[in-house]
Structure 1
Amino acid sequence: MHRLFCNLKLVDPTHPLHLKQVDLRVQDGQLVEVGSALDARDAELITLDQCSVSVGWLDLEAEVGDPGQEHREDLVSLAAAATAGGYTQVGLRPNTFPAIHDKAGVSYLLQKGKTLPVTLLPIGAISRDTAGLEITEMLDMRATGAVAYSDGSHSLQHAGLLLRALLYAKSFRGLIMNQPLEKTIAGSGQIHEGLVSTSLGMRGIPSLAEELMVERDLRLLAYTDSRLHLSHISTAGAVASVRAAKAQGLHVTASVAALNLLLTVEALEDFSSNCKVLPPLRSEADRQALLAGLKDGTIDCIAANHTPREIEAKEREFTYADFGAAMLSTAFAAAATALRDELTETELIALFTSGPRRILGLPTVGLRVGEEAQFTIYHYNEQWTPERRDIFSKSKNAPLLGHNLIGRPVATVNGHHFNSLARIKASE
C-alpha cells in the first residue's frame, strides 16, 4: 500500500513542475513519483482541494521544556504543535534544565526524537548552563549532532565570550547564534519604548538595547571572519545594520519572528500578557522596516519564536507575567497574513524552507523522486480564526487567538510519518 497525494500546486522553484498541479506518490517513506494524473490503483488516495505542496518547513529555534520543565512543553506536544504548524524539522534552543550544553544533552534530544513526526535539530549552548560565563565544548556537541550554538533566550552579554565562541566555531565552520538584547539598557522594561509605553505608564525596552548589541556583534564578526546568525531582529536600526554588514561581505544572517511582522506595540494597549514577548512588539515603522528587510534579502528567514509558558506564568499582573508566546501552530498564518501583499507565495515559502536550511548549512531538500519524502501541504488562501483547540502546545499562551488569519498548514509528510490537522485533532 502506498499513498497518493492528489491535485496539489507544487511550489518549489528548483523543480521542473514548479507552480504546476501534480500528484505525489509516497511509498515506504520515499517519494517515488511526481506528475499529473498518476495511476491511483492500490493507493490510499488523499485529495486536498485548493492546496499547495512545498518542501517541508523548518523552524530555526523553538523552546521546549524537556528536560526539566515538561509542564510547559514536552517533545511530544512540541511535535504536535510543529506538525500542526506545517513544520517537518525544528531547531531546539538549549534553554532547558539542565541546559543542552554538552554532548550528553544533544544525544538525549536526538534519542528521544527518533519516533517523532518532526526531525529535531539540537542547538548546543555557547556557555555552560547558558549563564554567559564559561564556554562549552562545541566541537564535542557538533560530533554528536548539534547544528549550531546559541544561549537561546539568554542574550550573550559578555563580548569576550562571544569573541572566543566565534573564533572556536570558525575552526570547524560552526554557526554562532545570538538574540541581540543589551540587558543593562533594556533593564526591567516590559514593552517597546515609545508613545504606548508612556501612555500606559510602563517601563520601555529601547530599540537601542537591540541595535547596540547588533553593532557589537557585527564588529566582532568582522574581526573574526566567522559565521553569525542574529535571531529575531525587530528594529529598523537592526535591519539597516545587517543590510550594511551583508554589503561588506560579512558572513551574517538574520531571522524575524512571525508575530513581529503582523502586530505592533499597540496590541498591548489592553495589557494582553500573551503579546508580551521578546523581542517586544515594536512600532509600525519598525514593522515596515522588517517587511522591507524580507523583500530585499536582508532578513533570511521567518521564525516562530516559540516560547511556551504555563497559564500561571502568564495570567498574572502584566509586570510579573513571563515573556513568551506559543507560536508554532500559527507562525505561518501570521506571516502569510502580514506578507500577502508584499511577497509572492513562492518567496514566502522560501523563508520557511530554503532560507533556514541555508542558515544552518543543511543539505538542500527538494521534491525529488528517490529521496525521503519530506513535504508540507498548505492552503494559502484559507481564512480562519484560531481557537484554543488549534494550539497544540501544552501551553496556550497564543497571542493570535481570535484573530482573522489567511493561510493555513493542512498536512505534513516526513519519511514514514503522515500528519494532517484532522489526525492531530482526532488524537487529542
Structure 2
Amino acid sequence: MDILLKRATIIAPGDKNHLQTKDILVSKGKIEKIANNISAPKVKVIESDNLHVSIGWMDIGTHIGEPGLEHRETIDSAARAAAAGGYTDIAIMPIVYPVTHSKSEVSYIVNNQPNNGVRIHSIGAVSKDAKGEDLTEMIDMSRAGAIAFGDGLKSIKDSGMMMRALQYAKAVNKPIINYSIDKSLVHDGQMHEGDVSVSLGMQGIPSLAEHVAIQRDISLAEYTESELVLHCVSTEEGCDLIKKAIKDDINISATVSYVNLIHIDQDLKSFNSNLKVKPPIRSNRDRKALINSVKKGSIQTIVSNHVPLEEEQKKLEFSYAGFGATGLETCFAAVNTHLSEDIPLEQIISALTLGPRIQMKTYLPAIKSGEVACLTVFDPSISWTYESKKKKSISANNKYLSTSLTGKVLATIIGSKVNL
C-alpha cells in the first residue's frame, strides 16, 4: 500500500526538515518523496488537522507472556498493541517460561516476527532462570540476536555477578539493562514508603533501596568501563546519582516508566491495583525530579513498562494484587495528556525514538528520500478513549481503560507494512 502524508510536521532533530510541515510519499516500502505539495494517484492519504510524523517509536523492557503464559500476552498481541501505541520496535524482557536464558530461547523470539511488521528484539537474561545464581551464556545469546542483557524487573542482587555480567556484555559490545533495587531493603513492600503508606497501613518500599542499588551499579560500570542502562528509575536520589555519573563521564544512561512521570503515591488512596507497579509510584518530589531529568536529557528514554497480568492477579485486595500494568497502547497518549506543559513534544518523541535506539545500539532510521520507511504518524491534538472492546492487548490491567486521552497514533509504517 502506497501512503501519502499530507501537511505533516516532521519531528527529526538534526535533520533539515525538523519541525517543517511537508507532504511525504511512501511507495513500495520506501520514502519516495518529501515536498511541500505532492499529488499522487491511487494512494492512501493520511491527513489530520495537526498531523505529525517521526521515525518509528521503540519500547525497551516490554514484558509479554509467550512462551508459557500466552493468556497474558502473545508475541502477536503485543505487536498489535505496540502498533496501536505507535511503536515499530519492541525489546522483550526475558521473564517468560522458560526464561530467555540461552541461544535457543533468543532464537525463538527473534525468529517469530509478527505479520504486522513490528520488529521484536530479544533481551537475554543475565542469570539462569533469572534467579541471580549462575551467569548465562551471554556470548551465545548475543550471536543468536540478543540486543542487551538483564533480568527484567528482578534486580541483579549479587555484586560479583553484576560485575562479571558487565564484563561479558562489554566483550560483545552490548549493554546491561538493570532494574536497580536492593531487595533486602524492600521486604514485603507494597508501595512507596512515606506518609501515604503510613496512613494507609501499607508496608513501604523505601527510596533508599533504589539509591543504594544505583550507587553500586554506577560504581561497577565505572570499574569495568562497561555500558549500563539503569532501567525504570523512580527517585529523586536516583536522578541525582545519574546526573553526577554522566558528568563524570561514566558510561551509563537511564529509562523511566511513563506511569512514574504522571502518578504519585497519593493516587493510591483509592487502592487502584492498576497503579501497583514496579517501581512504585513515589512522591511528587520524585515525580518532578524525573520530569526534569527527561527535560535535561539525563534520563534518555521513556518506557511503557508493559507488564500484562490476568484479572485474577489484579482484582484482589491491594496487598495481594500483583505488580504491573500494561502500557504499550497508552504510554504516549498519557504522557502527552498529562505532561504536554512540562515536557516539549519533541523531547517526548526523542525519548521514544532516539533514546532507546542509542541505548540498545540498534539501527537508527531516518526521514529521507530513498530510506526504507520506519514511521509513526500521529496527531497530538486528537482526543480519544481507550476502550476495553477496542484494545489490542490481551490483558486489561491498565489504569486508563475508559479514560479520555489526548494524542492519537494514526499509523505506523514499517517498510511495506502499514498499520492504520
- TM-score between both structures, scaled by the size of structure 1: 0.95
Instruction: Please list the CA deviations of residues 37-81 of structure 1 after superposition, one character each: whole Å capped at 9, or x if unmatched.
Output: 112223233333321011100001100100000000001110111
2:177 match: 177
2:410 match: 410
Query: Within 5 A, what are the aligned runs for 1:152-163?
Result: 152-163=152-163
Query: Within 5 A, what are the aligned runs for 1:250-265?
Result: 250-265=250-265
Confirm or deny: 8 A CA contact 1:387 1:402 kept in the other structure: yes
Q: How far is 1:287 from its partner?
A: 0.2
Separation of aligned partners in 2, 1:245 and 1:342 = 25
Confirm or deny: 8 A CA contact 1:412 1:419 kept in the other structure: yes
Q: How far is 1:415 from its partner?
A: 1.2
Give the match's secondary structure for 1:307.
Answer: coil
Instruction: Please list the CA deviations of residues 137-179 of structure 1 after superposition, one character each: whole Å capped at 9, or x if unmatched.
Output: 1111111111100000111111111011011112222201100
Confirm or deny: 8 A CA contact 1:261 1:334 kept in the other structure: no
Confirm or deny: 8 A CA contact 2:76 2:114 kept in the other structure: no
Separation of aligned partners in 2, 1:224 and 1:266 = 40
2:137 match: 137
Task: List alignment gaps of at least 5 residues for structure 2.
Answer: none
Q: Which runs of 4+ in 1 moved over 4 A?
A: none
- Taking structure 1 as reference, are residues 45 and 382 closer, same or farther at Cα in structure 2, changes over 3 Å only? closer
Separation of aligned partners in 2, 1:308 and 1:114 = 18
Give the match's secondary structure for 1:353.
Answer: helix
Q: Which amino acid aligns with 2:317?
A: E
Instruction: Please list the CA deviations of residues 274-303 of structure 1 after superposition, one character each: whole Å capped at 9, or x if unmatched.
Output: 110000010000000001111111101100
1:77 match: 77
Query: Within 5 A, what are the aligned runs for 1:384-403?
Result: 384-403=384-403
Q: How far is 1:102 from its partner?
A: 1.1
Separation of aligned partners in 2, 1:296 and 1:4 = 35
Aligned-residue Cα RMSD (Å) equals 1.4
2:49 match: 49
Give the match's secondary structure for 2:302.
Answer: strand
Separation of aligned partners in 1, 2:267 and 2:345 = 27
1:197 match: 197
- Taking structure 1 as reference, are residues 42 and 383 closer, same or farther at Cα in structure 2, changes over 3 Å only? closer
Q: How far is 1:390 from its partner?
A: 4.6
Q: How far is 1:408 from its partner?
A: 2.1
Give the match's secondary structure for 1:81.
Answer: helix
Q: How far is 1:402 from its partner?
A: 4.2
Separation of aligned partners in 1, 2:207 and 2:407 = 31
1:219 match: 219
Q: How far is 1:214 from its partner?
A: 0.4
Confirm or deny: 8 A CA contact 1:309 1:325 kept in the other structure: yes
Q: Which amino acid aligns with 2:290?
A: L
Instruction: Please list the CA deviations of residues 313-371 of structure 1 after superposition, one character each: whole Å capped at 9, or x if unmatched.
Output: 10012111100001110001122233311232212211111111111112321112212
Separation of aligned partners in 2, 1:73 and 1:2 = 31
Separation of aligned partners in 2, 1:159 and 1:116 = 41
1:370 match: 370
1:354 match: 354
1:307 match: 307
2:13 match: 13
Q: How far is 1:115 from its partner?
A: 2.8
Separation of aligned partners in 1, 2:407 and 2:81 = 16
Q: Which amino acid aligns with 2:155?
A: S
Separation of aligned partners in 1, 2:77 and 2:298 = 33
Separation of aligned partners in 1, 2:114 and 2:329 = 21
Q: How far is 1:114 from its partner?
A: 5.0
1:23 match: 23
Give the match's secondary structure for 1:31.
Answer: strand
- Taking structure 1 as reference, are residues 139 and 30 closer, same or farther at Cα in structure 2, changes over 3 Å only? same
Q: Which amino acid aligns with 1:126?
A: V
Confirm or deny: 8 A CA contact 1:337 1:407 kept in the other structure: yes
2:234 match: 234
Task: List alignment gaps of at least 5 residues for structure 1.
Answer: 421-428
Separation of aligned partners in 1, 2:96 and 2:42 = 46
1:332 match: 332
Confirm or deny: 8 A CA contact 2:80 2:116 kept in the other structure: no
Confirm or deny: 8 A CA contact 1:391 1:398 kept in the other structure: no
1:37 match: 37
Separation of aligned partners in 1, 2:308 and 2:117 = 20
Separation of aligned partners in 2, 1:416 and 1:314 = 39
Separation of aligned partners in 2, 1:167 and 1:3 = 46
Does the alignment pair 1:382 with 2:410?
Answer: no
Q: Which amino acid aligns with 1:45?
A: V
Q: Which amino acid aligns with 1:297?
A: G
Confirm or deny: 8 A CA contact 1:73 1:394 kept in the other structure: yes
Percent identity reads 38
Number of residues of Structure 1 aligned to a counterpart in Structure 2 = 420
Separation of aligned partners in 1, 2:287 and 2:263 = 8
Q: Which amino acid aligns with 2:33?
A: E
Give the match's secondary structure for 2:149.
Answer: strand
Does the alignment pair 1:121 with 2:113?
Answer: no
1:246 match: 246
Separation of aligned partners in 1, 2:316 and 2:213 = 31
Give the match's secondary structure for 2:386.
Answer: coil
Separation of aligned partners in 2, 1:276 and 1:241 = 25
2:68 match: 68
Separation of aligned partners in 1, 2:2 and 2:383 = 31
Q: Which amino acid aligns with 1:28?
A: K
Separation of aligned partners in 1, 2:399 and 2:115 = 30
Instruction: Please list the CA deviations of residues 14-59 of structure 1 after superposition, one character each: whole Å capped at 9, or x if unmatched.
Output: 3322222222212221111111211222323333332101110000
Separation of aligned partners in 1, 2:263 and 2:7 = 34
Separation of aligned partners in 1, 2:407 and 2:196 = 30
Separation of aligned partners in 2, 1:380 and 1:32 = 25
- Taking structure 1 as reference, are residues 103 and 295 closer, same or farther at Cα in structure 2, changes over 3 Å only? same
